[in-house]
Structure 1
Amino acid sequence: VKLLAIAEKGDDGIVQRVHPALVPEGTPLAAVSGVYNAVAVDGDRVGHLVLEGRGAGEGPTASAVLSDLVDIARGLVVPPFIVPAAKLKAPAKPLMDAHKSSFYLRLRAVDRAGSMAEITRALAQASVSIERIVQRGEKGRAGGDGSGRLPVVFITHETDEGTMARARAHLAEHEDVAGTPLVIRIEDGELR
């Protein structure tokens, strides 16, 4: 799980979002850890670029602060986007509800005959297609943890945010689900 800040230019404008997401193992972003940050850029001519370096800690923070102080002392005042903010044109902002991805959905299902069928039916009624289901209980313990509730993980096929949010809200009220399900986006499109 990585905290991603994503900016994408699409047909409807620029989509900007910050959220935790699952990224595929073996990708450059999956390998970033500790005080390191990375920036991945996809360009028409250059392809996929990944820049990685220290983003926190004494050295990087001191360097950034010192650089700002030197600029102030020199009287160097440059607008953050090279163009004064008053001259910037606001891009169209597509709604986050339209963003599509696969999702990791984890819930605690009531341990009774037919509960999984009811849960999958509820997801189908919400227009969420399931790619994979993982359900594991521990030997000798009812419900895996003695509570009569089994942890279940669903990986969905690609769907939009709005549909997934409605499905999550519906499942939170479902009699065969204990509590509010956990939903995490899966970002795997351009993270090679």
Structure 2
Amino acid sequence: MGNIIDMASFEHLRRSNTDDRYTCPKTNVTFPHIYKVMIPDGELINDQATFLGTFSAYYQLKEEPRHGNSTLPGFPPSTATEIATLQAEDGFYLDIIHFSRKERWEGFRDACFHLGMDMEAVSWTANEHGFFILLVKEDDAKKSSHVIYHSSGVEYVNELGQMLECRCVAAFNSFGVIVPYASIETYMD
């Protein structure tokens, strides 16, 4: 990969389409909606599945919940709410990564599971704009409560005199304001 193009430079273009999904102004990739799904919690009490009165939140790229306890007797239905931001107190962040080729998308998804990521932390979908993976991550406190979009495209780099694949990154804070990626990125020495 080449340079990282920080989409904070294009804030005025960040939500230009009518359905409020993020479109990268450099690659013209429109990302899918993000859904917060509330799954009813339960446990076995006297060999009977029992609703505990609480819900667990999952984040995914499809409205229909992937699974849940909602089909069990006495459990309320799962709900899915479209979101664009996280809450400031959320101790995790969302990475949404675009892939133009199915093989890369499948390989990345398979690697997530091979490396031990929890099934609940990975969601995926494909649409007319390409292939997408959403990761729920807790490994960097500076990124907590941010939604970070990643896409890539070929750019002409004057200094090198050639075309180079560049990664475009847009990070939104809990207020829905785009922020410079460098301000939340942790660099290793």
TM-score by length of 2: 0.21
TM-score by length of 1: 0.21
The structure that is helix-richer by fraction is 1
